Amino acid sequence: MAKSKSSISTVPTSVIIADVSARFEQLPKKITKEVISAFLEAIEDNVAGGHKVRIDKVGILTCKDRAARKGRNPQTGEEIKIPASKKISFRVAKSLKERVGVAKKSAVKKK
């Protein structure tokens, strides 16, 4: 098996389902999977519908419109038109940043 470039491992949904199911012993794994799938679909539907989705202790998902603009082909230098598009944005919650240990950028005073 080839090593990945990053030391961060990806946790698949099945592991999350097993973890949640273990925390709630009375909840079968099949039901847990259905609940988590419905939760994720609701997030998708709301973001696609243009709503801001706030997930406590995780962050905020939004869909933003990007205006059409001009760009350049890096190989030829030719000017090209980049059409309008949408972009999904995610802002991490403060509590998650603190738990992970993400340092705040300190303000540097200019003299």
Give the per-residue pLDDT at 22: 92
Give SS3 for 34.
helix
* 60 and 80 fall within a common domain: yes
Q: Which domain holds residue 36?
A: 13-49
Query: What pTM, to 2 d.p., does this model score?
Result: 0.73
Between 105 and 76, whose confidence is greater? 76
- Rounded CA separation 5/103 (Å): 23
The token pair at 2 is 């080839």
- Where does the pLDDT of residue 106 fall: very low under 50, low under 70, confident under 90, or very high at 90 and above? low
* 64 and 84 fall within a common domain: yes
Question: Of the given ranges (27-31, 41-45, 55-59, 106-110), which has the lowest mean pLDDT?
Answer: 106-110
Q: What is the CATH number of the domain that holds 86?
A: 4.10.520.10
Q: Which of 52, 34, 32, 56 is nearest to 43 (CA)?
A: 52
Whether the predicted pLDDT of 6 surpasses 70? no
Does 3 map to a domain?
no
Does 107 map to a domain?
no
Question: Using an 8 Å Cβ cutoff, are 69 and 105 in contact?
Answer: no
**Average pLDDT of the segment spanning 4-10:** 75
Inter-axis angle of helices 13-23 and 29-48, to 10 degrees?
120
Tell me how many domains the chain contains.
2
